[in-house]
Amino acid sequence: MARALATRLIYTMLVVLTAMSVVFLLLHLSGDPADALIPPGSNPDDVAALRAKFGLDKSLPEQYLDYMRNAARGDFGDSWRSGQPAMHLVLERLGATLLLAMTAFLIALAVALPLGVVAGTGRYRLAGWLASGVGVLGQALPAFWLGTVLILFFSVRLGWMPSSGREGFRSLLLPAVALAAFPAATLLRLVRVSVADVMGADYIRTANAKGLPGRLVLWRHIARNAMLPAIAYAGVVGGFLVAGAVVVESVFAWPGIGQLALQSVASRDLPVIQAFVAVVAVLIVLANLLSELVALLADPRLREASASGAVR
């Protein structure tokens, strides 16, 4: 298991390094970053001084090395728009995004797990229809469209929920539902298929043959083992929630890192964009690593495979 963890940590570092490198190249290949700083018709001496101040007068390889060297210390420079440290701006809003993502994750689990388990048994036709509807709609409806519909219905028409901002639980609920729709549908389908597979296992037939109550077999044996694929997939869902928050936060004006990222892209604030990508990359790989650790702890077969070196 220790060997598997070491391998995953190395993989994590490589993923973060690759993400940061790709973003650096894309931002510089899309045009001269100095264009976002220098007003048209500026004095050539002022232009040269400004380029030197931000290191834009160096060659691209030199800029890249400086960028990676500073990023290793968590220093992405100051925001070109506000003058504050870029990482500070991102971390300042990170809590709001994590709150939104965690709430959406809990909503997705609350919908997907019980409905997926009940629908997977095939005993309840209504549950099967409901699961199919939720699965199709959740994966088909874009988050920004669903968020807009929720605002129009619950905020504009009914007046039950605020349409924007961060003013307690009521303002959190609508964006969390909009963000949870896709992962809830995905997890529901996964759990439903897993339950159907587990029901055909020998130990389930044995439990039924012994006369154990059907509800006990369902929730103690079938559901417990069907959760393992969902646990493994939870890391992917966590990454989607953090990345998908960019769109949802813009719809609901939620003060998280997603809204900050869109504002920074619009103004070509490179230090903030780079700090945002680094933080999101770390969160995504940590979510995947955490889900793998939980899966190892929950499934003895994975622990045995890891101990024997089968897990890489």
**Which residues are paired to 179 by β-bridges?**
none
Taking phi over 0 as left and psi of -120 to 50 as alpha, with beta for the rest, 159 belongs to: left
Whole-angstrom distance, CA of residue 100 vs CA of residue 104: 6
Instruction: Work out the burial of residue 11: count CB atoms within 10 Å of its CB; fewer than 13 is exposed, 13-18 middle, 19 or more buried.
Output: middle
Q: Which residues contact 94 (CB under 8 A, 6 or more apart)?
A: 256, 257, 279
How many helices and strands in the chain, by DSSP H and E?
Answer: 13, 0
- Going by the DSSP 8-state scheme, the letter that residue 85 receives in this structure is B
Round the average pLDDT of the chain to a whole number and report it.
78
End-to-end Cα, the chain, rounded Å: 10
| Pair of tokens at residue 145 | 């469209």
- Going by the DSSP 8-state scheme, the letter that residue 39 receives in this structure is P
Whole-angstrom distance, CA of residue 242 vs CA of residue 265: 17
For residue 296, give the amino acid letter.
Answer: L
Cα distances (angstroms) measured from residue 312 to each of 18, 68, 126, 142: 20, 28, 42, 35
Whole-angstrom distance, CA of residue 89 vs CA of residue 102: 21
Mean pLDDT of all residues in 253-257 = 88
What architecture (CATH level 2) is domain 86-307? Orthogonal Bundle (1.10)
Question: Tell me: the pLDDT tens digits for 138-168?
Answer: 878 888 888 899 999 988 888 888 888 777 7
User: In percent, how much of the chain has pLDDT > 70?
Assistant: 79
Is 218's pLDDT higher than 80? no
Q: What is the pLDDT of residue 287?
A: 80
* Segments in 86-141 forming alpha helices (H): 86-120, 125-140
Nearest Cα to Cα of residue 117 among 39, 197, 192 = 192
Q: What is the pLDDT of residue 176?
A: 92
Is 305's pLDDT higher than 70? no
85 phi and psi angles, rounded to 5 deg:
-55, 130
More confident of the two residues 156 and 1: 156
- Going by the DSSP 8-state scheme, the letter that residue 163 receives in this structure is S
SS3 (DSSP) at 78:
strand
Q: What is the pLDDT of residue 175?
A: 92
Question: Tell me: the pLDDT tens digits for 36-48?
Answer: 666 666 667 766 7
More confident of the two residues 98 and 37: 98
Q: What is the pLDDT of residue 24?
A: 81
**Residues making up the chain, counted from first to last:** 312
Q: Where are the domains of the chain?
A: 86-307
Q: What is the pLDDT of residue 160?
A: 84
SS3 (DSSP) at 2:
helix
| Pair of tokens at residue 72 | 């290793």
| Pair of tokens at residue 83 | 């003058």
